Amino acid sequence: AADTAGTDAGVCSSPSPPTGCLGVIDGLLADCPHGGRLPRGGAGCTSSQDDTPGIFAEPWDYSDAPASAAYFADTRGSVDRLVDDVLRACVRIAERRGAPPPSVVRREGRYLRLRFDDAGSSSSTGEFYITPDDTTVQFRIAAEEAGGGGAVKNIDRAESIRKELRFMKLPVMRNRQRVFFFGESPFDTFGSGSASLGPPAEMTAGDMEGRDEPDPKV
């Protein structure tokens, strides 16, 4: 069965939770808020499980990280160490930027939720999920304020955390339908975000067709 962790009590713990619930539901983080046809980075949000242009960022692979040998045991202790390392990396990034250390909002098994406080009373919620049976970290970082602007700040934050951990970007298949034959553009359309497709184990072969390789550069 797919993981469910870190969900808030009540409606978000129901069998059919509404869009936007925080936590992992059936192995998936929530999609980011979407607005309009052109990419806007809804609510200053970036996610490794939402294909939308301006929002998507590749998940992380820790198989070649310096501390990977300690993670591979896949015991409760090794998962705890991996979550600890993600938290410590977030703290170090905040310190270098002169920001307060992130506060732990929720920690449950493979799931970690943090609150990042930035200058000017701006804040974001970061979610990190260590998926079982592989070496992947999925994440979602979103501004808490309504109309939080573009996702550039949180894309940069996520990339800084990844580099601090010395994890690799994991190439994935994306459901892009290009408007122009010669390359990608802001007018390309995407299929539903991964959260709306259901748990990965329940996705059909058709869900994976017609997807382009993303840029695997690190």
Stated as kind and residue range, the H or E segment containing 162 is: helix 152-165
pLDDT of residue 19: 63
Mean pLDDT by 10 residues, the chain (218 residues): 73 64 89 63 81 90 86 76 96 93 95 88 91 93 71 90 96 63 56 47 40 42
In whole angstroms, give the CA distance from residue 188 to residue 39. 10
pLDDT of residue 213: 41
| DSSP string across 47-84 | ETT---TTTB---EE-TTSTTHHHHTT-SHHHHHHHHH
Q: Please, are residues 22 and 7 in contact by the beta-carbon 8 Å criterion?
A: yes
* Confidence (pTM): 0.76
pLDDT of residue 165: 96
SS3 content of the chain, % helix, strand, coil (to 5): 30, 20, 50
